[in-house]
């Protein structure tokens, strides 16, 4: 009762004064939050394997301290938004461009990014790109302690200085047409350095280029299979991030730390992921697939009496499954989705065996996966 009277009274007063009250709140400053993109870290959903954590890494990128167009701190923020765990800013040592009004040395980029990496909980690996004509071409040195010392005249001196600093060294974009227009060769110098355990990895993917032949080298010579963005621009300007993650290397580590990364990479526990493709050794791709996809034969048949098999992809990977023999259907599994496979109950197989047509375990070779029903 009291409430009702007060309500009527209030309403009268609102008619008299309320407009002014409201006006104070709404004419001075109205926030239009719909004009803001809410910032957050989008999780990347890929499984752990063999008890290792799966760290999402991009260890090849540039900033204004070589020929990139963004400041080092932005690389850290991009990594956060995109769900990466670790990055390395690998400036060109040799042609650090004399941009107007920018100074610093070969370590500046790392030093500027370091506080941001702490703020965003991104692992920042100190690295640099040894940038030479072919051979040996471009090589990334990761886990170094002082980039300035690598900025020397002779390519081999730079490489060996990195080696002395304990670097993990990658042969970058071997099929890049600016250096190998019609070929994609492993030169003698590379073979030598591989043999001496100075080169440990090859980029089978770089920016938007995929070098299938280089995957064969990795398998033959036991090199880590890697793929990176080599981004110079704003990441979201270059990649359609609503459709694909940035290209990256998945590193299977005992812990999420610089030390964990280093151990895993020297142990070659890496695969490259780019667009819908994954490349790496079969013994890593097998658990990666099986921890991503569940296959269950359903109890009930469909309306035509066929056996139903549910194939569920719990990951952000895409799988193009092609039956090894033609007696049962294949399926394309989009990220985070489920397909049904219908089998003739009479000749239903006891197991489904597929090749993953968009995953690679060697040059021109796809993994084969098997599910018992």
Indicate the residue among 113 and 284 with the shorter CB distance to its own copies.
Answer: 113
Please name every residue paired with 171 in a beta bridge, in sequence order, or none if there are none: 139, 202
- Least separation in angstroms between residue 253's CB and its own copies is 15
Pairing assessment for the beta strands 86-89 and 123-131 based on DSSP bridges: parallel
Give least dist CB 14 to its own copies, A.
Answer: 6
The two tokens of residue 21 are 């009250």
- Looking at beta carbons only, is 157 or 336 nearer to its own copies? 336
Among 309, 298, 283, smallest CA distance to 369 is for: 283
Closer residue to its own copies in complex, CB, 114/134: 114
State the nearest-atom distance from the C-beta of 99 to its own copies, in Å.
Answer: 8
- Least distance to its own copies from the beta carbon of 19, Å? 9
Residues numbered 77-136 forming contacts with its own copies, rule: CB under 8 A: 77, 81, 83, 100-104, 108, 111-112, 114-116, 118-121
Taking the complex as a whole, how short is the minimal distance between the CB of residue 302 and its own copies, in angstroms? 4
Which contiguous run of DSSP H or E holds residue 214?
helix 212-221
Q: Which is nearer to its own copies, 125 or 167 (CB)?
A: 125
* Phi/psi at 367 (5° precision): -75, 150
CB nearer to its own copies: pick between 168 and 274:
274
Interatomic CA distance for residues 204 and 318, integer angstroms: 19
Query: Is residue 31 close enough to count as binding its own copies by CB under 8 A?
Result: yes
Size of the site for its own copies (CB under 8 A): 105
Q: Which of 151, 160, 180, 297 binds its own copies (CB under 8 A)?
A: 180
Name the residue nearer to its own copies (CB basis): 57 or 159: 57
Which residues fall within 8 angstroms of residue 325, CB to CB, at 6 or more apart?
353
Using CB under 8 A as the binding rule, whether residue 351 contacts its own copies is answered as no
Please say whether the beta carbons of 324 and 356 come within 8 A.
no
Q: Which stretch binds its own copies (CB under 8 A): 130-138, 145-153, 164-172, 270-278?
A: 270-278
- In the list 1, 153, 188, 240, the residue contacting its own copies (rule: CB under 8 A) is 240
Half-sphere CA count of 193, side-chain side, radius 13 A: 26
Q: What's the start-to-end Cα distance of the chain, in Å?
A: 70
Cα-based distances in Å from 183 to 82, 170, 213: 34, 19, 10
Interface positions, 129-168, toward its own copies (CB under 8 A)? none
Please tell me the distance from the alpha carbon of residue 299 to that of residue 303, in angstroms, as a whole number.
Answer: 13
Q: Of 185-224, which residues contact its own copies (CB under 8 A)?
A: 207-213
Identify residues 285-344 at the interface with its own copies (CB under 8 A).
Answer: 298, 300-304, 308, 310, 312-314, 332-334, 336-340
DSSP letters of 227-295? EE--B-S-HHHHS-TTTSPPPEEEEEESSSSHHHHHHHHHTT-EEEEETTEEE--HHHHHHHHHTTEEE
Binding to its own copies in span 54-83, by CB under 8 A: 64, 69-71, 73-74, 77, 81, 83
Nearer to its own copies, 44 or 251 (CB): 44
- Name which of 268 and 276 has its Cβ closer to its own copies: 276
Whole-number minimum distance, CB 366 to its own copies, in Å?
14
Q: Under the criterion CB under 8 A, does residue 17 sit at the interface with its own copies?
A: yes
Q: Specify whether the CB–CB gap between 89 and 117 falls below 8 A.
A: no
Toward its own copies, which CB reaches closer, 198 or 339? 339
d(CA 32, CA 308): 50
Which one of 46-54, 88-96, 144-152, 170-178 is the stretch in contact with its own copies (CB under 8 A)?
170-178
**347 touches its own copies by CB under 8 A:** no
Q: Site residues for its own copies, window 247-266 (CB under 8 A)?
A: 247
Q: How many CB atoms lie under 10 A from the CB of residue 285?
A: 22
Binder among 110, 171, 217, 277 for its own copies (CB under 8 A): 277
- How far apart (Å, rounded) are the C-alpha atoms in residues 141 and 124? 14
**Maximum distance among all alpha carbons in the chain?**
95
């Amino acid at each position: 009762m009291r409430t009702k009277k007060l309500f009527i009274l209030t309403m009268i007063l609102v008619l008299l004064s309320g407009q002014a009250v409201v006006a104070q709140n709404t004419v001075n400053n109205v926030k239009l939050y719909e004009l803001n993109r809410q910032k957050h870290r989008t999780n990347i959903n890929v499984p752990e394997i063999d008890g290792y954590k799966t760290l999402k890494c991009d260890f090849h990128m540039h900033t204004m301290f070589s020929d990139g167009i963004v400041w080092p701190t932005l690389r850290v923020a991009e990594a956060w938004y995109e769900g990466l765990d670790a990055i390395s800013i690998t400036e060109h040592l040799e042609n650090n461009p004399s941009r107007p009004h920018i100074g610093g040395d070969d370590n500046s980029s790392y030093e500027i990014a370091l506080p941001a990496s702490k703020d965003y909980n991104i692992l920042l690996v100190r690295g640099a790109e040894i940038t030479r004509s072919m051979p040996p071409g471009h090589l990334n040195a990761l886990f170094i302690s002082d980039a300035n010392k690598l900025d020397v005249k002779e390519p081999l001196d730079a490489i060996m200085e990195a080696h002395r600093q304990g670097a993990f060294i990658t042969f970058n974009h071997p099929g890049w047409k600016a250096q190998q227009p019609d070929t994609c060769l492993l030169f003698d110098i590379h073979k030598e350095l591989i043999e001496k355990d100075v080169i440990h990895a090859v980029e089978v993917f770089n920016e938007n280029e995929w070098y299938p032949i280089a995957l064969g080298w990795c398998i033959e010579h036991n090199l880590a299979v890697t793929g990176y963005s080599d981004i110079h621009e704003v990441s979201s300007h270059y990649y359609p991030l609503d459709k694909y993650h940035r290209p990256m290397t998945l590193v299977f580590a005992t812990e999420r730390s610089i030390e964990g990364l280093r151990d895993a990479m020297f142990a070659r526990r890496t695969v490259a992921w780019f667009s819908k493709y994954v490349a790496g050794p079969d013994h890593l791709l097998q658990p990666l697939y099986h921890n991503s996809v569940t296959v269950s034969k359903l109890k009930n048949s469909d309306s035509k009496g066929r056996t139903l098999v549910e194939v569920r992809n719990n990951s952000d990977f895409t799988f193009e499954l092609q039956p090894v023999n033609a007696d049962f259907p294949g399926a394309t599994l989009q990220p985070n989705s489920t397909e049904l496979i219908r089998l003739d109950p009479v000749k239903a197989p006891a197991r489904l065996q597929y090749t993953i047509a968009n995953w690679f375990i060697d040059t021109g070779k796809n993994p084969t996966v098997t599910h018992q029903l």
